[in-house]
A = this chain, B = another copy of it.
Amino acid sequence: MKITKDLYRGSLTLLTDFYQLTMAYAYWKSGKAEEEAVFNLFFRKNPFQGGYTLAAGLDYIIDFCSNFKFEQDDLKYLKEMRNADGSATFEPAFIDYLQSMEFSCDMEAVEEGTVVFPHLPLLRIKGPLVQCQLLETPLLNIINFQTLIATKAARIVYAAKGDAVLEFGLRRAQGIDGALAASRAAYIGGCASTSNVMAGKLFGIPVSGTHAHSWIMSFDTELEAFKAYAEAFPDKCVFLVDTYDTINGVRNAIEVGKLLRESGKEMIGVRIDSGDLAYYSNIAREMLDAAGFPDVKIVASNDLDEQIITSLKMQEASINVWGVGTKLVTAYDQPALGAVYKLAAIKNDKGEWEPKVKVSQQSIKINIPGIQNAIRFSKNGKAIADMIYLEGEDLTSAQYIIIDPVDPTKRKKINTIGLDEEFLLKPIFINGQKVYESPDIHQIKKNSERNLALFDKAHKRFVNPHIYPVGLEEKLYELRTQLVFKMKNYDGA
């Protein structure tokens, strides 16, 4: 799949912060543009006060990087940029340098549908400093959003306890791609379908939908409207029953359901989109059962999220299918994941990698230096802990101690005998060449299911979830501590 090239016209290479270009220019002026660097993309807190995060967006990124190239109109725009005094912002030779630039980085990343946690590297890029910088902003844009929505979807699907969750957020999503990318991520996170036809066409996601209130209002009576719909879609009748009065709506649906049955068809469901969903769904269930329609499903919608679905389940609402929109596609209660992208190492004049750290007064904001990977230990199909370690480290030890990146008194001993091990970062690009074949979207969805099954339900509850252990291998912890001390002394703090 070529998402960005299929969806967008021309180049997306300028989809970056202007400071990436001013830095690119200044790196180029300083002769540092081609210095090799390693950057890590990670986040510091699970969203929604939850216990886990579900990674998504990699396929967009593969496509973005595969098409990373300054096109003529990009270069023209940059060439015409002016300083306040009318002089050109960028020298012509720099424009030529951009024109000749080709994506040549190594990239490793966690696969889509992988359960991830704070501090783990989600993506690691190694290559010329200037390319790593230019890619920072689009990589963050794509991963931040799709990961956020996949996680939100997984939570909502978890709350629905096996019932189908239909995503229909297009009308309230944040922009056109805000909707498309959300539909994609929501499917990865476990939704059964989307209402967004273009997402269906682009990504191969199942689409679903029946009719709106306006369908009913365009007829003289609701009964007439239901009958007309049944004529067009005798096999797909889910009647929206709350345009005027929900109980009367169910009555009309039953009447048309009986007509359908006479012609050998069965009504599929009724949908309630307003009012007290617990109360009305139970009345609808009783009416349908009494009328001989025990298999007709009740679809509910109206600003649903995992909390409201949980509450409706507790109230024993008779709802079988959940339609979710706004709260899912905007991740309403936390509309941004704060993933960041930090310089982890740079190659010095002697060709040696120097690990890099950014000091901060907030301990949680100190990054993890060096070229890292992460390993997930599991036993009998249950994940035990993740260890972040320095690439090249000898991993044959029978025992590790992992140390929490924020609170070093939190440590966990891991005896590796009998444990399964999975390396979380997989090679995606080598020297700019793609070496990874993206699974199709249905396989990615299965990967999410497989991943989520690895984790205990204690990590999945919505209130005060159990914290999954992720720690630094001892040598990495030591390196980081020494570097922080050095930087603090160095700057006199």
Q: Which residues of A contact B (CB under 8 A)?
A: 4-10, 12, 14-23, 25-27, 29-30, 32, 35, 37, 39, 73-74, 77, 83-85, 129, 133, 136-138, 140-142, 144-145, 168, 170-182, 195-198, 200-201, 207-215, 217-218, 221-222, 228-229, 231-233, 235-236, 243-245, 248, 274-275, 326, 330-332, 335-338, 342-343, 346, 356, 358-362, 365, 487-488, 490-493
Contact = CB atoms under 8 A, between A and B. Distances in A.
Contacts of A175: 141-142, 145, 174-175, 177-182
B174 A25 contact: no
Contacts of A8: 7-9, 176
A329 to B, nearest CB: 8
A35, A84, A172 pick with most chain B CB within 10 angstroms:
A172
A21, A213, A232 pick with most chain B CB within 10 angstroms:
A232
B210 A22 contact: yes
Given A8-B7, A211-B26, A174 B15 contact: no
Given A74-B201, A173-B141, A201-B74, A18 B136 contact: no
A342 B210 CA distance: 17
23 contacts: A9-B9, A12-B176, A15-B176, A15-B179, A15-B197, A17-B197, A18-B196, A20-B209, A21-B197, A21-B209, A22-B210, A22-B232, A26-B211, A26-B232, A35-B218, A83-B235, A137-B170, A141-B170, A141-B172, A141-B179, A213-B358, A244-B358, A248-B493
Contacts of A332: 335-336
A343 B177 CA distance: 27
Nearest to A242: B360
Contacts of A133: 212, 214
